[in-house]
Amino acid sequence: MPPRPDLPDPSPALAERLAAALAAGAIRPAFQPVLDLRSGAVAGFEVLARWTDDLLGPVPPARFIAVAESAGLIAPLTAHLIRAACAPARAWAGGFRLAFNIAPVHLQDPLMPALFEDSVREAGFPIARTAIELTETAAITDAEAARAGADRLRAQGVRLSLDDFGTGHSSLARLQSLPFDEIKLDGGFVRGMERAATGRAIVGAVIGLGRALGVPVVAEGVETAAQAGALVALGCDFGQGWLFGRPLPPEGVPELLRARGEAPWPPPAPDPSPEQQLAQLEAAYEAAPAGLLSVDRALRVRTASRHGAALLGLELRGLPGRPLAEIDPALAAHARADLDRARLGEPIPPRLLALGATGRTVLLAARPARDGNGELLGLSLVLTEVPSAG
């Protein structure tokens, strides 16, 4: 691939050292695990490039990859990294995937698909167990060429992943432009779940988007067990980050695979449990003036959101397990009527209701919660406060 005129000229010395490093095989792969969040098993690895120069020491990937693009070295760098990662991986047990970062401008190069295919096959690794990751922030100037390249690779079984989702300026447009098989949620949103309700709402919305599109979501930058637990509650499929392991050299991967086992990709897609349904609803409404309750068929509270408890004038920890009739008889009466409608398969209309404990007027909307066989388990209630006329 020729040098890119839209990028600044690289340092000639650094470009020369990078070219020499490529010739000497000094650019090495590192493997960061991607785990199934429920089982903790390994689903795959993102392959990262690492370079330690004899004179400069460790060179950050962001620096030398930009040099490779601007100096016309991105194609040989990509081919070298693919071969260097796939060659040892062919001997490892399991059906894990290997994902490689491809610059969007490189995807537009008509020679790139053949370069990718040839590099994988020369190393003896199954091409159907590979993926390419495209960062959302980089521009695609020739959408038709990028689509043609993506279609050719996907016809060989290569999966296409949208990396750093949410950090660009046209997330949904990028999802429409190419046939993505996976969404990778940027780690900044994962960290944001612990700072503000809106962070949890955004993560829940992206997971819901993935389910609507029929593609799994990988949460990047998972650093704490609390983050992992919140992601599981929201129905996220996979996680990647320091909680699960830093990038490994090739010799460290077999032991990780033995210790963790492997997970299938794509993951099985069972209907979400009532708890996950509530968690996803809560994420969607947490930043809005709405409260959530989940009740079983006996109208006992299963789970609730903080705002739902506040609308009823109660602490959240005092709600689970309590009969709704003890909490608010009027709300219980409406819920009983809605439960009867749900049993008969009738639509459940929203209605205004004055809460007895706080005197607040809310718009009550109910929907049935069912298991995978369609059996009625209870109701999910959404209470939206209606401001008083005064």
CATH of the domain at 300: 3.30.450.20
**Does one domain contain both 206 and 278?**
no
Q: What pLDDT is stored for residue 345 in this prediction?
A: 86
Q: What pLDDT is stored for residue 286 in this prediction?
A: 52
- pLDDT over threshold 70, residue 82: yes
CATH of the domain at 96: 3.20.20.450
Q: What pLDDT is stored for residue 365 in this prediction?
A: 86
Which residues span the domain enclosing 301? 274-385
**Does one domain contain both 64 and 175?**
yes
- pLDDT over threshold 90, residue 347: no
Taking the C-alpha atoms of residue 72 and residue 87, their distance in angstroms, rounded to an integer, is 25
What's the gap between Cα 16 and its chain centre?
38
300 burial level (CB within 10 Å; 0-12, 13-18, 19+): middle
Percent of the chain past pLDDT 70, that is, above it, reads 85
- Span 58-72, average pLDDT: 89
What's the gap between Cα 296 and its chain centre?
30
How big is the CA angle at 98 (ends 97 and 103), to the nearest 5 degrees? 135
Comparing 90-94, 182-186, 190-194, which segment has the lowest mean pLDDT? 190-194
Q: Is residue 265 part of a domain?
A: no
**Does one domain contain both 201 and 340?**
no
Q: Is residue 206 part of a domain?
A: yes
Q: What is the side-by-side strand order in the sheet with 361-370?
A: 301-304, 290-296, 376-385, 361-370, 351-354
Which is more confident, 226 or 287?
A: 226
- pLDDT over threshold 70, residue 152: yes
Quick one: DSSP state of residue 273? P
Percent of the chain past pLDDT 90, that is, above it, reads 45
**Does one domain contain both 22 and 48?**
yes
Alpha helices in 163-294 (DSSP H): 171-177, 187-192, 197-213, 225-233, 253-260, 274-285
Q: Which helix (H) or strand (E) holds 270?
A: none
**Does one domain contain both 48 and 169?**
yes
Q: Is residue 50 part of a domain?
A: yes
**Does one domain contain both 106 and 62?**
yes
Q: Is residue 309 part of a domain?
A: yes
- pLDDT over threshold 50, residue 113: yes
CB 202 within 8 A of CB 166: yes
Taking the C-alpha atoms of residue 303 and residue 322, their distance in angstroms, rounded to an integer, is 10
- pLDDT over threshold 50, residue 142: yes
> Residue 276: which pLDDT band, with cuts at 50, 70 and 90?
low
> Residue 119: which pLDDT band, with cuts at 50, 70 and 90?
very high
CB 133 within 8 A of CB 100: yes
φ/ψ of residue 308, rounded to 5: -65, -40
φ/ψ of residue 18, rounded to 5: -65, -45
> Residue 271: which pLDDT band, with cuts at 50, 70 and 90?
low
Q: Is residue 6 part of a domain?
A: no
Strand-strand pairing, 301-304 and 159-165: unpaired
> Residue 48: which pLDDT band, with cuts at 50, 70 and 90?
very high
Q: What pLDDT is stored for residue 282 in this prediction?
A: 55
- Taking alpha carbons only, the member of 362, 41, 37 closest to residue 190 is 37
- pLDDT over threshold 60, residue 2: no
Taking the C-alpha atoms of residue 309 and residue 303, their distance in angstroms, rounded to an integer, is 10
Residue that finishes a domain, picked among 260, 282, 315? 260
**Does one domain contain both 65 and 191?**
yes
Handedness of CA 181, 186, 192, 197 (dihedral sign): negative
**Does one domain contain both 290 and 161?**
no
- Taking alpha carbons only, the member of 55, 46, 3 closest to residue 26 is 55
Angle between helices 197-213 and 225-233 (to 10 degrees): 50
SS3 assignment, position 328: coil
Residue that finishes a domain, picked among 260, 293, 319? 260
Residue that finishes a domain, picked among 235, 260, 285? 260
What pTM does this model have?
Answer: 0.69
Q: What pLDDT is stored for residue 277 in this prediction?
A: 57
**Does one domain contain both 16 and 123?**
yes
- pLDDT over threshold 50, residue 170: no
Q: What pLDDT is stored for residue 207 in this prediction?
A: 85
- pLDDT over threshold 70, residue 169: no
- Taking alpha carbons only, the member of 122, 127, 120, 279 closest to residue 208 is 279
Q: Is residue 7 part of a domain?
A: no
**Does one domain contain both 200 and 299?**
no
Average pLDDT, the chain: 84
**Does one domain contain both 239 and 302?**
no
Comparing 10-24, 50-64, 188-202, 229-243, which segment has the lowest mean pLDDT? 188-202
The region that residue 124 occupies, defined by phi over 0 for left and psi between -120 and 50 for alpha, beta otherwise, is left
The number of folded domains in the chain is: 2
Q: Is residue 32 part of a domain?
A: yes
- Span 236-242, average pLDDT: 94
> Residue 72: which pLDDT band, with cuts at 50, 70 and 90?
confident
CB 316 within 8 A of CB 338: no
**Does one domain contain both 163 and 302?**
no
